[in-house]
Every structure is written in structure tokens, then in C-alpha cells.
Amino acid sequence: MTETSRNLASAATGGPIIAVDGLTKRYGDLVAVDGVSFTVRPGEVFGMLGPNGAGKTTTVEILEGMRRADSGSAFVGGIDVHRDPQKVKSIIGVQLQSTAFFDYLSVAETIKLYGELYGEKVDVDAILEEVELTDRRKAYFNHLSGGQKQRMSIAVALVNKPQVLFLDEPTTALDPQARRHMWELIQRIQSTGTTIMLTTHYMEEAEELCDRVAIMDRGKIVQLDSPDRLIEQLISTGFTATREVKLATLEDVFINLTGRSLREG
């Protein structure tokens, strides 16, 4: 969320890095994405919030060139996703919701191999250090812990130095320590000028990481603004929380008691 890096990236490219207009996707009778429009600015962390089945993942997968929309347009980095999905894929990094890599290839070998798929010679050591997997470089994917698997998945998403990084529920099923680690990693990646679009259903995650969030429900975006502005808007309608706001949360208690260091291996 560093203001300077965002402005730098923004100044370099000008307009929005993601532009979506009237995007619609149906599965039979179900309208999974219903005329969604939004833009993402270069260098920001853009969050997609919403309950399960709201259409977050479908929207993101259309932007990733993995699914075709029925109607509407989507541009990523100025490239039409419908017309040239392969070209979009080459400038983005993708972390899928549930994913796996090859058995019997080590972490380092897998990262190198994925680099080859993009025609990139990857500095495996640098990427491993970035995602804190240096000491697991020889491990097979299946032997990694949940948090390590997620970081591996992000490492692979970084091999082509992407302009936009898509993260689909990057901290689901992680313990509080691993989640905080993931947040720090995401913030470090943003500080290098990479635009990040993430989906989550953890509100504190969105508050911590996102410059702006879109709240989706039943295939439509119902609100889009910065987390602070959305909260202010709600309060201005006369809303009061049912519970008194405390100065710390139960999670703070948990972290305070168990420490911030990762428990894995």
C-alpha cells in the first residue's frame, strides 16, 4: 500500500490496468456473473469480496483467460482477454484457489520449469527467498505444509515478473501465523509495483491489504470503494455495531500468546 510505488506505476502506464465492462457469464439457468463493470488502477491491491457462489472466482478466471464470458468486455494490461487470452496469460501471474504441481519434482525444479513455460530464465534462488522457501527448495510439493504450498503457488505465479498478480483466496485454511506471513508477502510484492487482484471472504484481510474492494453478491457488484470509505458510508446511514468495539480482537490475543513465527515443517 505504499503510495509512492502506486503512483509511479500509475504514471508509467496511464489508464487502468484492468478494465471490465458489462461482463456476463451463464451456466445454464444460473447467471454466475451478471453485467459486472469495474476498473483496477496500476499498482493497487484490488479486492473482490463476497459470499461463496457470488461470482468472484468466475470473474477472476475470465480475466485470467481461463474462461470465456458470454458477453461484455475485459482488458488486462491493454490486451483484450477474449481476443488474445494467451497473450494475457503471458503478462499475468495466477494463483488458483485449489491447485497442485507435479509429484516428484522439487520446489526449485518446478519453479524453473514454469519459467521455461513462459520462456523466462528464472532466478530460482531470488524467488525462493522472496517467498521464504529457500530451505524447502528440494522438497516435493506434496510434502509442503498448507502455508508453504500457498507460497510455492505464489512463487510460481511470479516467474514471469507479471504486471498483474491474481490471487484467489490466498489465505483460506491457513492458521493465523501463516495468514499474517502471507499478508506481509503480498505487501512486499505490491511494493515492487505489481498490481494485485485478490478474492477473499475474510474482511480483516481485505481491510489490511486492499486499496479498494468490490463487494459481489449474486453475480453483481453491489459496492466498490476503499475499505475506510465503505465503513464511513455505512456509519453515516446511522448504523451502529451490535457489539461494543474493543481495542483488540481474539486473533490479537491468539497471536500475542502463540507468537508470530511460522509453525510448519
Partner 1 sequence: MRLYFVLTIASLKMYFRNRQAIFWALFFPMLIMLIFGLLNFDQFSPPDVGFIDNAKNEASTRFRDVIDDGDDPLLDLKIEDDEEFLRDELRSGDVDAILIIPEGFGEPDNVSTVRAIFDSRKPQEQGITETVTRDVLDSLFLDIANVPDEFRVESRFEIAPAFIEGEGEGFRGFLVPGIAAMAIMQAGIFGVVFSLIRFKTGGVLRRLQATPIGPSHFLVGQMTTRLIVTLLQTYVLLVVGMLALRVTIGDSSIINWIDISIMALFGGALFTVLGLAISGWAKTEDVAAPVANIVTLPMMFLSGIFFPIEVFPDWLGNISQFFPLTYLADGFREITVDGASIVTLGPELLGLGIWTAIAFAVATRVFRWE
- What is the rounded distance in angstroms from the CA atom of residue 80 to the CA atom of residue 87? 9
- The least distance separating partner 1 from the CB of residue 4, rounded to whole angstroms, comes to 31
Nearer Cβ to partner 1, position 75 or 101?
101
C-beta separation of 184 from 192 below 8 A: no
- The least distance separating partner 1 from the CB of residue 88, rounded to whole angstroms, comes to 9
- The least distance separating partner 1 from the CB of residue 65, rounded to whole angstroms, comes to 8
Nearer Cβ to partner 1, position 140 or 183?
140
Where does this chain bind partner 1 (CB under 8 A)? 64-66, 86-87, 89-90, 94, 96, 98-105, 109, 113-114, 116-119, 156
DSSP state of 135: G
- The least distance separating partner 1 from the CB of residue 137, rounded to whole angstroms, comes to 15
What does each C-alpha distance from 115 to 93, 110, 112, 153, 240 come to in angstroms? Answer: 11, 9, 5, 13, 51
- The least distance separating partner 1 from the CB of residue 168, rounded to whole angstroms, comes to 11
AA identity, residue 240 = T
- The least distance separating partner 1 from the CB of residue 79, rounded to whole angstroms, comes to 12
Nearer Cβ to partner 1, position 147 or 227?
147
Q: Beta 79-80 vs 71-76: how paired, if at all?
A: antiparallel
Nearer Cβ to partner 1, position 71 or 98?
98
Nearer Cβ to partner 1, position 29 or 104?
104
- What is the rounded distance in angstroms from the CA atom of residue 75 to the CA atom of residue 25? 16
Residues in CB range of 85: below 8 A, 6 or more apart: 65, 66
Q: Which cell numbers hold the place of 63?
A: 480475466
C-beta separation of 130 from 155 below 8 A: yes
C-beta separation of 33 from 24 below 8 A: yes
Nearer Cβ to partner 1, position 189 or 221?
189
- Distance, C-alpha 176 to centroid of its chain: 18
